[in-house]
Amino acid sequence: MHKEKSPIAIRIADLVQGVHEFDFTCKASDFTGWQLAEAGFTRDIQIKAGVDKIDDKVTVAIETYTVGDFTCDRCLAPIARTLSGSLKLYYMYGVSVEEVEEWNAEYRLLDKSADSIDLTGDVCETLLLSLPLKVTCTDNPLCKLYGIDEKNEESHAEEISAWQESLEQLKNKYR
């Protein structure tokens, strides 16, 4: 049975103790099953992984950088946003399951015979968590909601003054 090759895996069997840096460049299509392209990740995704191996512990610091292509939630203008995320994971060898139950999600167990660490799922989760909740454009002159239009400003000023007058009349009526 052929095992699918992971787009982001670090071979730890050959690593000597110390700090190691790994750089990966991927596309959203490399991550099957995560629908990253539909979420706005259409450009290259840069991943930096810093691995610190000490005795029976491996610490992995993941940093992701990319540019996401979105549309403004208000005017539907195309927007490109720089997205970044980070995650730190701790892997331990030879620790009993009872000890692990009290740990949080960043701690993981490694089998003594493990030869690599697959970071694909963690990178995808970091990318998805870096997505903005609301995307709006404020600097785009083509956005009709934020564009400067003199006619709209004059009518808006008239509406405010008419509104204020009616409020003043209502206030005077109840005095």
| Count of structural domains, the chain | 1
User: 36 lies in a domain?
Assistant: yes
- Write down the pLDDT at residue 99: 60
User: 170 lies in a domain?
Assistant: no
User: 153 lies in a domain?
Assistant: no
User: 163 lies in a domain?
Assistant: no
pLDDT tens for 54-64 read 888 889 999 99
The whole model's pTM is what? Answer: 0.70
111 Cβ contact partners less than 8 Å away, ≥ 6 residues apart: 93
pLDDT tens for 140-167 read 665 555 444 544 555 555 555 676 777 7
pLDDT tens for 25-52 read 988 888 888 888 888 888 899 999 999 9
User: 1 lies in a domain?
Assistant: no
| DSSP string for residues in the chain | -PPPPPSSEEE-TTPPSEEEEEEEEE-GGGSTTS-TTTTT--S-EEEEEEEEEETTEEEEEEEEEEEEEEE-TTT--EEEEEEEEEEEEEEEES--HHHHTTS-TTEEEE-TT--EEE-HHHHHHHHHHTS-S----SS-TT-TTTS--HHHHHHHHHHHHHHHHHHHHHHHHT-
**Owning domain of residue 31:** 9-140
